[in-house]
Chain A
Amino acid sequence: MGKIEWAMWANEQALASGLIYLTGGIVGVAGQLKGWEYAAFGIAAGVFVCLLEYPRSKRAKGTNYERTGQYCFTVCVKAFGPLTSNYYVRAFLHAALCVPGGFMLATVLGCVCLGMASLIYLSAAIHGEHWQPIMPKSEPAKSVTQSIKHPPQNPPPRPPAEMRRKRAEDLESAAYVNPLPVTANE
């Protein structure tokens, strides 16, 4: 299979699992189903997973597609350093979080999906991937390139003004033409 970054898929799966865990938890609590304590845990775990997984990692190769407004989440997740950037930790964390969901039907789907996400993250970790924050690029100052179209800085070399003045006796060789006829100073 091509050069796949497993973490990208694990991230999508984990985010979806978080939402499903959360939804199952809400149904369990709102419907006052038996075992609603597990559902309440599901809500908390679901929210936590969604917050953790929302910011996408920077890809090792290729363009990064950020999720809308993920920058503040990136900053929070980045603050935890190796706890969040190491995928072994994430795989283990998701595996641990999903277990209580298995005790109640409403959250069992969230449990299985999060378990799958944990496995994909394990694969990502084994392949040496890790989470990197996508930071906004600071634009380097645009250097003005050498253009051949620079306007000249100096006037072209000319003989001194004395020599440039039109002489009455030598009108033909003059460098310019007067708009009005000129007669010599009498």
Chain B
Amino acid sequence: MGNWIVNHGLDTFILVVWMGINIFLFVHFYLFYDLGPQFFYTRQLLGSALAWARAPAAVLNFNCMLILLPVCRNLLSLIRGSFVCCGRTMRKQLDKNLSFHKLVAYMIALMTAVHTVAHLLNVEWFINSRHGRYGFLAGNLSALEDDEDDHETFLNPVQSDSTTPTIFAFTTIAGLTGVVITLALILIITSSMEVIRRSYFEVFWYTHHLFIVFFAGLVFHGYGRIVRSQVTTDPPHNTTFCKDQPENWGKIPECPIPQFAGGFPQTWMWVIGPMVIYLCERLLRFVRYLQTVRYKKIVMHPSKVLELQLLKSGFKMDVGQYVFLNCPEISELEWHPFTMTSAPEEDFFTVHIRSAGDWTDRLIKMVENLPEGTLICQNGPFGTASEDVFDYEVSMLVGAGIGVTPFASILKSIWYKFKDSNPKLRTRKIYFYWLCRETHAFEWFADLLQVLEKEMEERGMRDFLIYKLYLTGWDHTHAAQVMVNFDKDTDVITGLKQKTHYGRPNWDKEFEQVRHENPSSVVGTFLCGPPALATDLERRCVKYSDVDPRKTKFYFNKENF
């Protein structure tokens, strides 16, 4: 239980607070409209349906305010930077921004459904009241019109006897905007399904921009002011007394004609702040896009990995961050994220691009034909969890396949910090696990490890960095080769002193080893790899952690794009 609190406590707290606010808003506004005396006459026409529509509306206001914030990457990077003082637990929360964005989106979808159904009933019942199907009082209330001379104001927004719900929906601001933004919301949601997002990112990204339509419609949704409440008149209109004699309204002093006014539209007050922030975010991304990027070096590695060393004025990065690259010649609008493999101490930034789809294939082919490189634009850098790796006394770095790239940046940075004896380096020990299916992807990384190996031997710090390489795609030919070269000092595959392991790591054994060698330490576990491995490691972090400060504690951090 203690282990769970250590690893999930803050997440759960934030979720509980968020849900609490949602529930409070729903209940508060439901009771406001269901019990409020100013809506007494409205309830004669609609019953509880108005409350059922307005309560989710309040929750929608709150969540539409929240939804833009988790995707302001630059803002989040800024907050991460300023939280340097406030502990790594707070910063870890910002890694879960996309999960929170999705959760808020689900709530918006659910509340939209409730809101729409309630209003469908409202419209129908407004029309029925107008036709006198709900009795005398309802009929009289519906007959009230906006009339200056008779000092009348309307209650029922349905003013014509021949209207239908569909006509009403499409001729009022609220109805029209409602249908349009709900349609936009549905299109956004269907194109955001995991299948579409993972396989056809462009469809997801472009359709998602319908949120502009969504917010525009949302802001104007309440402008028709068709939700009416009773205003105090002089002399006051006593509803309890007057409700049974609508024929006497305006004729007896106790019952002047009741006056109504529309509710002031409030949604814009909720969403204007985040809309401005998001606009700044997009402007910032655009400004960065305009700055030129120059090539320093282009290296084409075997196994179809392209290394680009790029220069951009005023560029500053931290370890493990990623940038978005755009090549206008391939596609004007496509931006693809790549983790940087260079260290902040270098004056250029490097990305290793693997052939993994249309865009990367075309880029590699283009660079092969044009050795001086093609126009490329860059946006970022954006922060991820790797920046915290130097804060932990002990770090476990796990990279699966190409997921090793952020750790390339980290290891290089260690090398530089080591050479400069940088006091910022709190790390005493690093355990590095690289899981890979096939050998030829090792090549560009093996050089780095060889250099580090040599460097550490020279300084007599052999156990600062312990790395284990796992070849998960081995077969009998590998086994044969290993058997034959058993006695050699260096590994037959990588040329490194550290021998390659075969198969998957036994994580229990690894965690035990780390715990045994580092009692009373805080260990940060960083993964860049498949989700299945993430759940595995996260479970083990919880299992091997101890709330006791004298014992080892494991914190899990996951990279994701």
Contact = CB atoms under 8 A, between A and B. Distances in A.
Interface residues of B, number: 37
B482 to A, nearest CB: 13
Interface in B195-225: 195-196, 199-203, 206
A147 B182 CA distance: 63
Interface centre among B127, B189, B200, B206 (most CB of A within 10 A): B200
B357 interface: yes
Interface string B162-188: 001110110000000001001100110
Interface in A11-66: 12-13, 16-17, 20, 23-24, 27-28, 31, 33-34, 56, 59, 62, 65
Interface stretch (A82-90, A100-108, A125-133, A168-176): A100-108
A9 B476 contact: no
Contacts of A3: 358
Contacts of A62: 199
A105 B165 contact: yes
B494 interface: no
Interface in A124-177: 145, 147-149
B142 interface: no
Interface stretch (A70-78, A91-99, A109-117): A109-117
A2 B356 CA distance: 12
A184 interface: no
Interface string B459-480: 0000000000000000010001
Contacts of B202: 1-2, 4
Nearest to B206: A1
A129 to B, nearest CB: 13
B166 A108 contact: yes
Interface string B89-121: 000000000000000000000000100110011
Nearest to B480: A148
A143 B164 CA distance: 71
B292 interface: no
B190 A13 contact: yes
B476 A148 contact: yes
Chain A, interface size category, equals 35 or more
Contacts of B191: 9, 12
A99 to B, nearest CB: 14
Given A13-B187, A31-B121, A34-B165, A2 B358 contact: yes
B223 to A, nearest CB: 20
A23 B113 contact: yes
A106 B113 contact: no
Which secondary structure characterizes the binding site on chain B?
A: helix
A87 B405 CA distance: 42
A113 B120 contact: no
Contacts of A8: 195-196, 199-200
A105 B166 contact: yes
A108 B169 CA distance: 10
Contacts of B203: 1, 4, 9
Contacts of A16: 186, 189-190
A3 B202 CA distance: 10
Contacts of B120: 24, 27-28, 31, 33, 105-106
A105 B191 CA distance: 25
Given A27-B121, A108-B179, A116 B476 contact: no
A20 B358 CA distance: 35
A102 to B, nearest CB: 8
A2 B200 contact: yes
B130 to A, nearest CB: 12
Contacts of A103: 166
Contacts of A106: 120, 165
Interface in B475-490: 476, 480
Interface string B354-370: 00011100000000000
A20 B186 contact: yes
Given A2-B357, A2-B358, A116 B166 contact: no
A9 B200 contact: yes
Interface centre among A5, A28, A105 (most CB of B within 10 A): A105
Contacts of B199: 5, 8, 59, 62
B198 to A, nearest CB: 9
Contacts of A12: 190-191, 193, 195-196
Contacts of B359: 2
A31 B124 contact: yes
Contacts of B476: 145, 147-149
Nearest to B121: A31
Contacts of A17: 186
A109 B182 CA distance: 8
A112 B187 CA distance: 11
B55 interface: no
A148 B183 CA distance: 64
A1 B120 CA distance: 38
B116 A109 contact: yes
Contacts of A56: 195
B45 interface: no
A62 B127 CA distance: 53
Interface of B: 113, 116-117, 120-121, 123-124, 127, 164-166, 168-169, 179, 182-183, 186-187, 189-191, 193-196, 199-203, 206, 334, 357-359, 476, 480
Interface of A: 1-5, 8-9, 12-13, 16-17, 20, 23-24, 27-28, 31, 33-34, 56, 59, 62, 65, 102-106, 108-109, 112-113, 116, 145, 147-149
24 contacts: A2-B200, A2-B201, A2-B358, A2-B359, A4-B202, A8-B195, A8-B200, A9-B191, A9-B200, A9-B203, A12-B195, A16-B190, A23-B113, A31-B124, A33-B121, A34-B124, A34-B127, A56-B195, A62-B199, A105-B165, A105-B168, A109-B186, A116-B187, A148-B476
